[in-house]
Amino acid sequence: MRWTRDELARAVSGDAQGPDVVVEWVTQDSREVADHASSLFVPLLAERDGHDFIDSAFDAGAVATFASADVEAPGRLVIRVDDTAVALAALGRDARRRLEGVDVIAITGSVGKTTTKDLLAAALGTTRRTHASERSFNNEIGVPLTLAQAREDSEVVVLELGARGLGHIAELCAIARPTVGIVTTVGSAHTSEFGTIEAVAEGKGELIEALPAGIDGGVAVLNAGVALVAAMAARTSASIVTFGAAGDVRAENIALDDELIPSFRVVSPWGNTELRLGARGLHLVDNALAAVAAALALGMAIDDVAAGLAAPVLSPMRMSLSRLASGARVLDDTYNANPMSVAAALRSLALMSAGHRVAVLGVMAELGEESTAEHLRMAALAAELGIRVVAFDAPGYGDGIEHVDTIEQAVDALGDLTDDDAVLVKGSRIARLERLVAVL
């Protein structure tokens, strides 16, 4: 997206001070400025005040900055605003206005948002100029940034929407104005914020309520196999497409190879095709079906969709399989964890051909009152599947399993791994278990 000085000031109701420059990239991270020409730096207040990094951003090549505090930047463009976060949201709304007529697809759900986003972007990208959010840019910072970073000639934009409570997704939809909404599933994630699974469904369904109505309106893509998701159809006048075993778009003859890559036949109202998914895990079949449903609903040819899903660019630390020099295999699913994703990862590990299977599990955060019961349930599931558990700084998994507190202790607990071993490493972000994967 491209803005002049005066266009920026009008978009955010700010006061422009400094030279007239052209902005072609927007970031809140001063470390990214050097990678993009003509950057606007947005200093946000987080653990540190982003205003402290304005000088660094300009030194790295930024051509402009927002500022809500007094800053000295002679000869530089400073857009003075009352609140930089509010200004970023306003810039996102202006970017969305410029994308009028473009399909904006928003994805939410308790798990699977990022993988579905990656798969859908790959499917759409075979024939359409597609812009998708980076990593898990799914909040009040990431959503407007994604819109602002889109090219003005984009034909479709794919977003993730996360939430910490009721009303959050509605606020993001007011910025993004999605035309297509996908709900992957609803389960026991973030119940510490929402309280109950029903409240989680209420919050996720705000996306479906925000879709435009009418024959030429929006499309709601819903998981037919999850009752709380399927019920969201009553909350919209948009067209409905379902996916899953009982859905409009479904998978038949599913097979899984020893690298955990699924193959299956896609059956849909738009035609059928064979598909080999370029992502690991049986549980990702539903994510792929959601992507297929959305792409087909937008008029994509089913063979183009299948070609894209066969070779997606996936975000890191999600079901990534590596082989060590010893021949042991390590399944890196360390980006995050909740009971649904941990159970799916454990079942994937159980399907791998190995004489010994071990899961290094970190804490599952944000579960509230359900935390103790859910950690014990995961430990019991691992035992049922014949998987040894090493709990990393997570006493909630209970007695009868090994507990370690440091990366070094985890390495020692795994011992000398051989080509007969398969290791899953998984935990919530706060566990930072990607450190163990790097050491291994």
Q: Quick one: average pLDDT of 401-412? A: 98
Residue with tokens 């390495």: 411
Q: Residue 429, class by beta-carbon neighbours within 10 Å (0-12 exposed, 13-18 middle, 19+ buried)?
A: middle
State yes or no: pLDDT of 191 exceeds 80. Answer: no
| Predicted local distance difference test score (pLDDT) of residue 195 | 81
136-158: pLDDT as tens digits: 899 999 999 999 999 999 999 99
Q: What tokens appear for 67 in the block?
A: 């500022």
pTM of the model: 0.92
CATH code for the structural domain at 99-310: 3.40.1190.10
Helices (H), 218-301: 227-230, 284-297
Residue spans per domain, the chain: 3-87, 99-310, 320-439
Q: What is the DSSP-derived secondary structure letter of residue 4? A: E
Closest CA to 401 of 161, 87, 392, 179: 392
- Three-state SS for 387-405 is CEEEEECCHHHCCCCEEEC
- Residue 275, phi then psi, degrees to nearest 5: -140, 130
265-296: pLDDT as tens digits: 999 999 999 999 999 999 999 999 999 999 99
293-343: pLDDT as tens digits: 999 999 999 999 999 999 999 989 999 999 999 999 999 999 999 999 999
Cβ contact 146:157 at 8 Å: yes
CA angle 214, 215, 219 (to 5 degrees): 80
CATH number of this structure's domain 3-87, picked from the four choices 3.40.1390.10, 3.30.565.10, 3.30.70.60, 3.40.50.620? 3.40.1390.10
How far is Cα 340 from Cα 226, in angstroms, rounded to an integer? Answer: 13
Closest CA to 175 of 114, 82, 106, 221: 106
Q: What tokens appear for 251 in the block?
A: 């998978």
Q: Is 330 helix (H, G, I), strand (E, B) or coil?
A: strand
Q: Is 293 helix (H, G, I), strand (E, B) or coil?
A: helix
How far is Cα 273 from Cα 248, in angstroms, rounded to an integer? Answer: 14
- Helices then strands, counting H and E runs in the chain, come out as 16, 22
State yes or no: pLDDT of 215 exceeds 70. Answer: no
356-380: pLDDT as tens digits: 999 999 999 989 888 999 999 999 9
The CATH fold assigned to 320-439 is Protein-Tyrosine Phosphatase; Chain A (3.90.190)
Chain centroid offset of residue 48 CA: 25
State yes or no: pLDDT of 109 exceeds 90. Answer: yes
Question: In the chain, helix, strand, coil percent, each to 5?
Answer: 40, 25, 40
Chain centroid offset of residue 3 CA: 28
Closest CA to 183 of 334, 316, 304, 293: 293
| Predicted local distance difference test score (pLDDT) of residue 183 | 98
State yes or no: pLDDT of 124 exceeds 80. Answer: yes
State yes or no: pLDDT of 193 exceeds 90. Answer: no
- In the chain, the percentage of residues whose pLDDT exceeds 90 is 92
| Predicted local distance difference test score (pLDDT) of residue 189 | 64
Residues counted in the chain: 440
Q: Quick one: average pLDDT of 76-95? A: 98
